[in-house]
Structure formats: structure tokens, C-alpha cells
Structure 1
Amino acid sequence: MHVSGKHVILSLVLFVFGYLVAVSYEQAQNLLEDEEVSVEEWDRAFYYRQQLIDFEERNHALEQQINDLRVELLQTETSLSEEQQNLMSAVDLKRELQAYVGELAIEGPGVFITLNDQDYVPDRANVNDYIVHDRHVQLVINELLSAGAEAIEINGQRLLHNSHVFCVGPVITVDGTTYPAPFTIEAIGNPDTLLQSLELDQGVIDQLVNERIEVEYGEKHVEMTPQ
């Protein structure tokens, strides 16, 4: 068989063409595989991105709930604080009223003033001019109250807003209880203010001494029991 130059050239052309086809097929196959990988990676990235968006939205919703709960808690604490203050004010008022009506024991700085009958009574003198009367006791009480006394008692008996003091011969009666002289009046309040009020020129002490009443007074820590 005789092989001409044309056959050789044709064979060479077919070989080159076949090689190019094979290479092109392989490249095309690789390209398809790369595209498939890219699509899978994109789907995976999209999934995780969507999960992240959902997580951020849930996180934002939880933060909003936490803020709402904080506001509600703050409002509750404010309300409880106001209620506690109101309760404390009510308790203080109750104690103040109880102390005012003598239901509670109280104590504090204050003063005492003791009034006693005159030991010496001249002959032919009127004895009533040398003993303590209810007006003397009331004079001291009024002065102490006007000077800011918070509570007053006579011979250990608390005086209330409706108390009555009156004289029966040589004794005085306080709300039905009778006491002989001496009469010790104790008051809780600012000692300096109370004493200054009693010691005013031509004041209570001077009047009592001028009416021949024996007077002893001074500063004292006063304790008063409930009535």
C-alpha cells in the first residue's frame, strides 16, 4: 500500500483535531464541576446568612423585651418606694397620734418644776394664801405649752388634750386622780427654750415666788409611760 503525502497530512490533521476535542471536553467537564461547586457554596452561604439574619432578629426582639421588662421593673420599684414612703409616713403619724393621746411611752430631754406649799405660815394668816392651787399648776402648764413642750405630766400622770386640773382644798385632781403637794410637773422639749420661758422677768417663776409658793426647777431627761 502506497501512502502519499496527502494521507500523512490528513492523518496529522485528524489527530490534532481529536486532541483538541478531547482537551475541550475535559475543560468543559472541569468547568461544569466548578460551577456545581460554586452553586453549592452559594447555597450554603445563603443558608448561613439567612440563619444569621434570623438570629439577629430574635436577638433584637429579646433585647426589646429586656428593655420593656427593665422599664416595668423601674416603674414597680418606684411604685413600691412611694408606697413604702406613704406607709412610713402613716406609721410616723400613727406613732405621733399615739404619743399625743398617751398610748405610747416617750422620753427625751426636758425640764421639771416642783411646786410645794409654804412651810411657814404666819399667825393669823390665811393658809390658802400659802398653798399651791390649780391656777398655779395651770400657769406652769400653759407656759410650757406656749414654749413648745411636746408632752407634760404631773406627778407621773400624762396630760392629754382633754385633761382637767382643778383644786380640792390642799390637793389637786388630774382627770379624777387626786395628788397632794408637792406637785412635780415634767415636760419634754428643748430644755433651754423651756427654762428661758419660765425664767422671764416677771414671768412664771417670779409670779409663783411672789405668791409664796416654793419652787424648784431645772433640766432633766424625762421618761413618760403610757396612760
Structure 2
Amino acid sequence: MKQKGNYIIVSLILFVVGFLVAFSYQQTNSKPKVTQLSENEWEKDYFYRQQLIDIEDKNKQLEDELTTLRQTVQDFEQDIGEEKKQIGDLVDTKKRLQILTGELPVEGEGIEISLKDADYIPSEDNVNQYIVHDRHIHLVINELYSAGAKAIAINGQRIYADSYIQCVGPVISVDGNVYPAPFVISAIGAPDVLDVSLNLTNGVVDNLLYDNIEVTVEQMPEIEMDARAS
């Protein structure tokens, strides 16, 4: 029995040793093999790697140049936009000056203000206190320009930057042309704005009424004024 037990123990030991040897061999065969590159293959690998690095550097350089060019284009477009706005402003200013000097005809909505001498003049009072004077005309015209009127005419005669208005007895002289009352002052502009400006409390209309001048204000859908004759 003792010999049989020893045999079993020896068999187990041999089995374990055999298993370990077989497992070790299998693990050795399963490990990746180290590939040995030739000198020529090393040179090719280095060459391709260097080319890849150069391409990446070139791409970075091109990306930086593209960013710079995009910024340049953006700045250029902004400058063009500002120049267009400046040119547009200059064109608008030129047009306004041409309208003011009468070089261009003008038409549009606006208002008409009629100034008339008082119908009743007390015999004991001075008649000059009841008729329209050039200062009344100037008062209306100045207020209309302040309210944004583009163009103004008196009895159909357009007023220019160098126009002069004088009172000659019961009539008004506009650039040498004489007109009797009533005096109709036409103004092209925003009707509501012009109307409100004239009718402010203690404003133009109130002052004219205080001076015994009969005043009517009418909004007009269309007013036309010719350019100054050459």
C-alpha cells in the first residue's frame, strides 16, 4: 500500500511538471515577435515621417495665412461699407443743397399757410397794425425750415437760399417780384410735423393772430415747385 501511495504522488508531480512545461511553451509561442528592420527600411520610415511632419507644418502655415487673408478681406469689406455710407451721405447732402439753392425741382406733400390782412380795421387805430408785414413772412418761413421743410414758395414763387423779402406798403416784394395779400406760403415736408410746429402754444400762429393777421393752415397731399431758371 505504501508503494502504491508513493506511485500516485510521483504521477501527480510528473503531471503538474508536464502541464507547466506545455503551458510555458504555448505562452512563448504566443508572444509577438520583434520585427527587425533593415537599414533601407529604416531610412524609408524616417523619410515618410519627415514628409508627414513637413506637410503638417505647411498646413499650419497655410491655415495661418488663410486666417490673415480672411481678416484682411473682412477689414476691406468694412472699409468699403463705410465708404459707401459716406458717399451716400455726401449724395444726400448734395441733393439737399441743390434743392435749397433751387437747382432741382421738388414735389411732395406739405402744407399751405395763408396770411391775410384783417378784414376790420378800427378807424382810430393805425392801419399798419392790421396788415401783413415782411417780418410775419420771415417768422413763418424760419419756423417751417426749422421744422424740416425741404422747399418753400410764396404765392407760387420759390424761395432760395439767397432770396430776399421786403415789405413795400401793402404788398410784399419777393426777389423783386411784387405780390399783394393774401400771401400763400407753401412748404414741402411732413405735413403733421410742420402743422404742429406752427400751432405750438405761443408759437407762430398765436403771434400772428395777436398781430391781427388772419391765418389759415391746410395740409396738402401734393405740392410741386420748379427748379430755378438758368
TM-score bin, normalised by smaller chain: 0.5 to 0.7
- 1:77 is paired with a residue whose SS is helix
Q: Is the 8 A contact 2:143 2:198 kept in 1?
A: no
**C-alpha RMSD over aligned residues:** 3.9
Structure 1, residues 121-153: CA drift from partner, whole Å, max 9, x if none?
Answer: 999xx9988765544433433454565645421
Aligned to 1:203: 206
Quick one: structure 1 residues 70 and 200, their matched pair in 2 at CA, closer, same or farther if it must change by over 3 Å? Answer: closer
Say yes or no: does 1:64 pair with 2:64: yes
Within 2, Cα distance between the matches of 1:201 and 1:194?
8
Letter in 2 for 1:49: R
- 1:138 is paired with a residue whose SS is helix
Structure 1, residues 184-209: CA drift from partner, whole Å, max 9, x if none?
Answer: 1012351342341498598244246x
Structure 2 alignment gaps of length 5 or more? 1-34
Q: Is the 8 A contact 1:149 1:194 kept in 2?
A: no
Aligned to 1:191: 194
Aligned to 2:26: none
Q: Is the 8 A contact 2:116 2:131 kept in 1?
A: yes
| 1:1-227 alignment, distance < 5 Å | 38-116=38-116, 132-145=132-145, 149-168=149-168, 171-187=171-187, 188-189=189-190, 190-197=193-200, 203-207=206-210, 210=212, 215-221=215-221, 222-227=223-228
Structure 1 alignment gaps of length 5 or more? 1-33
Letter in 2 for 1:91: V
How many residues are treated as equivalent by the alignment?
189
Relative to the length of structure 1, the TM-score reads 0.62
Quick one: structure 1 residues 51 and 140, their matched pair in 2 at CA, closer, same or farther if it must change by over 3 Å? Answer: closer
Structure 1, residues 9-53: CA drift from partner, whole Å, max 9, x if none?
Answer: xxxxxxxxxxxxxxxxxxxxxxxxx96x63333232222212212
Aligned to 2:32: none
Within 2, Cα distance between the matches of 1:66 and 1:162?
58
Quote how far apart the aligned CAs of 1:167 are: 3.5
Quick one: structure 1 residues 217 and 96, their matched pair in 2 at CA, closer, same or farther if it must change by over 3 Å? Answer: same
Q: Is the 8 A contact 1:166 1:174 kept in 2?
A: yes
Letter in 2 for 1:217: V
Within 2, Cα distance between the matches of 1:198 and 1:114?
19
Quote how far apart the aligned CAs of 1:78 are: 2.5
Which of the pair has more CA radius of gyration?
1
Within 1, Cα distance between the matches of 2:102 and 2:159?
8
Structure 1, residues 155-213: CA drift from partner, whole Å, max 9, x if none?
Answer: 222223332112445543211233344421012351342341498598244246x35x5
Letter in 1 for 2:199: Q
- 1:203 is paired with a residue whose SS is helix
Q: Is the 8 A contact 1:114 1:217 kept in 2?
A: yes
Relative to the length of structure 2, the TM-score reads 0.61
Quick one: structure 1 residues 144 and 88, their matched pair in 2 at CA, closer, same or farther if it must change by over 3 Å? Answer: closer
% identical aligned pairs: 46
